[in-house]
Structure 1
Amino acid sequence: MEARAHFYREEINSTVWEVPEKYTRLKQIGTGAYGSVCSAINEKTKEKVAIKKLHRPFQSEIFAKRAYRELRLLKHMKHENVIGLLDVFSSALSLDDIQDFYLVMPYMFTDLSKVRGQLTEDKVQFLVYQMLCGLRYIHRAGIIHRDLKPGNLAVNQDCELKILDFGLARSTDAEMTGYVVTRWYRAPEVILNWMHYTQTVDIWSVGCIMAEMINGKTLFKGRDYMDQLTQIMKVTGVPGAEFTQKLDSQEAKNYIKTLPRYPRKDFSTLFPRASAKGIDLLEKMLVLDGDERPTAELALEHPYFDSLRDTEDLPEPASYDDSHDNATLTLDEWKRLCFREVRSFVPFPRRDSKRKNTLTISP
């Protein structure tokens, strides 16, 4: 098919991009298993954006389902601390013609994995506050992120943060699988393969990231699956019978019985630079039993955030319709659903941030 008049084609690293003329100065900034990302300028708004092209989204049912889920999740997110869509487009005029589509998102300066060294307490406080505001929104929509790590927490130079990458996010009532979060940030119940863990797996990840920002190094740097669990229990202490009874896996129960009786470490010794309120919050988030961790909503009520808390940061989301998350459809059916979502996109008017902050960050 010929490109539509207001689209143009450009080859970038051996991949042909076909984008509306309003997006100029494309420059590749990332690539992964499922897509490539270019920065661009929207000539109408003069805004710098990030455009993601999915790699052959309709090559199979699995790829098409993943593409559909990512599109649906991004369309659903309307919170300043969660990445959302500014635009979605395809040059295809009809369902028969669609081969791919592009997702346009805000351009972010860097991510937390590239921010080196210890951060000052005011920066840590502001970044963790934003993580929890974003998580509260995601969780109240009925979604668990499950893959929180520094690399998918984008930040701008003014310290504003957005949660990225919903490729692995699933709604809370879908059956859970054990191998999701990057190992160092995995909650123990994910490592132990509980089938029905809750939204507090994300709170554990926030605790790990907060600890890393305070100390300037990864808190639990396990060499493998079991060493990760050992590193965790050297800090949290080995659990008692009440905890182990909750585990589905007999293998996990047996493993815990073989561990030395590590006591819980003193967090004020582990984090000598942290304030008393910061240490108290960390102690609440880094609890072995997920049932004992606070929700994002409760964590935001902690005194650590007294100077930041603002009800305008806590909008209520619509509930996410996950009826297709576990569906088995044909490739043509997934394609039809994707085409419908692309065609029905309406931009969401964004709220200008009223947060008064002079924090700056540089990688």
Structure 2
Amino acid sequence: LPCPAPAGSPPFHAYGPPGRRASAVDGRSGTKVAIKKLYRPFQSQILAKRAYRELRLLKHMKHENVIGILDVFTPDVTLEKFNGFYIVMPFMGTDLSKIMKHEKLTEDRIQFLVYQILKGLKVCHFLLFLFHNLITVWVYFVLPLQILDFGMARHTDSEMTGYVVTRWYRAPEVILNWMHYTQTVDIWSVGCIMAEMIMGRPLFRGNDHLDQLKEIMKITGTPSQDFVQKLKSQAAKNYIKSLPKVQKKDFASVLKHASPLAVNLLENMLVLDVEERVTAAEALMHPYFEAIHDPEEEIEAEKYYETFDNMDLTLDEWKRVTYKEILNFKPLQTSESKETAV
């Protein structure tokens, strides 16, 4: 990852999910940071809009359970030469997927980690944004636990494609390609992550999107006629109707090592019908978290009003507004890196 000053100097050591990311040392403070290079952000209008969205959301987000931004810069000195930029973020510890590969998580630890994830989601949903690609590699282990990556985050009023989520964590409404999701699309992903923590392996492991749907229905059962009628895609309706009837499994028989309260929470998360699926705020109130739930910790963020998701700009216009955001950014002072194990 070639990276100019001021954030640090090579060599950098790549880490984290696939993409243009590296760890570095901030030459001004000596603090270890993470640098993300936006990969070809102005190759198309879609990519330019996505890059602008990520920058705006990261600048706005100030919550202990969601990654923030320390600095943003570009080596390009004029708008005419502007072709890319770098985002500087706090350096995160190892991600959740790596932790689960090397150790068996205890019930108390699972409870704490899921609680932290839900707190982060609650504030994002309060801001009317959802991740819809929340997977174990986007959840990083520091104190407190943090959710990473706004690259594909969207305002809940926006239309979305059905192919943005890693398959095993994909909510059924994404697979069925509904054009408008609710915020509970993320709750399904959290349920998949929680089940994986308990079982030591992913709960639904489909080979493709249709096989993934079959794997889901082996446990949830085939949906009711009322659910099928809610689908906007006639092709999805026809496909569901063609499937053999399957009864819902007892979640306790699938999650054999889970406590009754954990099973009940997952039954409320992994619901096919988005209107019946629990929200982040409701999940935090579940008895499963009674021992650690503290409403005062669930700080609401400043409301976020943004219209760029509905903006239809040319590529040059997206470059101009992004360049302006970078020039106007006031960097935060970095603090000592905390790589505390949870």
User: Counterparts of 2:329 and 2:64 in 1: how far apart (Å)?
Assistant: 19
The residue that corresponds to 2:137 in the other structure is 151
Alpha-carbon distance change, 308 to 25 in structure 1, aligned in 2, over 3 angstroms: farther
Q: Deviations over 1:147-205 (max 9, x none)?
A: 0111211213x5x4211122211100112322221111111111111222200010011
Deviation of the 1:235 alpha carbon: 0.4
Give me the CA root mean square deviation: 2.4
The residue that corresponds to 2:114 in the other structure is 128
Higher alpha-carbon deviation: 297-306 or 161-170: 161-170
Structure 1 runs not aligned, ≥5 long: 1-11, 353-358
The residue that corresponds to 2:277 in the other structure is 293
Aligned letter for 1:209? I
Alpha-carbon distance change, 351 to 38 in structure 1, aligned in 2, over 3 angstroms: closer
Higher alpha-carbon deviation: 175-184 or 88-97: 88-97
Q: Aligned runs of 1:17-36 on 2, under 5 Å?
A: 17-20=3-6, 23-24=8-9, 26-30=11-15, 36=20
Q: Deviations over 1:215-272 (max 9, x none)?
A: 0011000111211111111101112111111111222222222222211111111112
Aligned letter for 1:343? L
1:320 lines up with 2:331 in the alignment: no
The DSSP-based 3-state class of the residue aligned with 1:17 is coil
User: Counterparts of 1:263 and 1:188 in 2: how far apart (Å)?
Assistant: 17
How many equivalent pairs are there? 337
Alpha-carbon distance change, 285 to 349 in structure 1, aligned in 2, over 3 angstroms: farther
User: Counterparts of 1:244 and 1:61 in 2: how far apart (Å)?
Assistant: 35
Q: Percent identity?
A: 55
Q: Aligned runs of 1:6-155 on 2, under 5 Å?
A: 12=1, 16-20=2-6, 23-24=8-9, 26-30=11-15, 36-115=20-99, 116=101, 117-155=103-141
Aligned letter for 1:72? R
1:189 lines up with 2:173 in the alignment: yes
Whether the 8 Å CA contact 2:13–2:24 is kept in 1: the answer is no
- Larger relative CO (CA 8 A, sep 6+): 1 or 2? 2
The DSSP-based 3-state class of the residue aligned with 1:282 is helix
Q: Aligned runs of 1:229-268 on 2, under 5 Å?
A: 229-268=213-252
The residue that corresponds to 2:159 in the other structure is 175
Higher alpha-carbon deviation: 108-117 or 134-143: 108-117
Q: Deviations over 1:46-101 (max 9, x none)?
A: 42110112234334433322221111111121111111101112244443443322
1:303 lines up with 2:302 in the alignment: no
The DSSP-based 3-state class of the residue aligned with 1:28 is coil
The residue that corresponds to 1:269 in the other structure is 253
Whether the 8 Å CA contact 1:30–1:36 is kept in 2: the answer is no
User: Counterparts of 1:334 and 1:207 in 2: how far apart (Å)?
Assistant: 36
User: Counterparts of 1:269 and 1:101 in 2: how far apart (Å)?
Assistant: 50
Structure 2 runs not aligned, ≥5 long: none
The residue that corresponds to 1:204 in the other structure is 188
The DSSP-based 3-state class of the residue aligned with 2:4 is strand
Alpha-carbon distance change, 340 to 313 in structure 1, aligned in 2, over 3 angstroms: farther
Deviation of the 1:30 alpha carbon: 4.2
Alpha-carbon distance change, 351 to 295 in structure 1, aligned in 2, over 3 angstroms: farther
The structure 2 residue matched to 1:228, chosen from 199, 206, 212, is 212
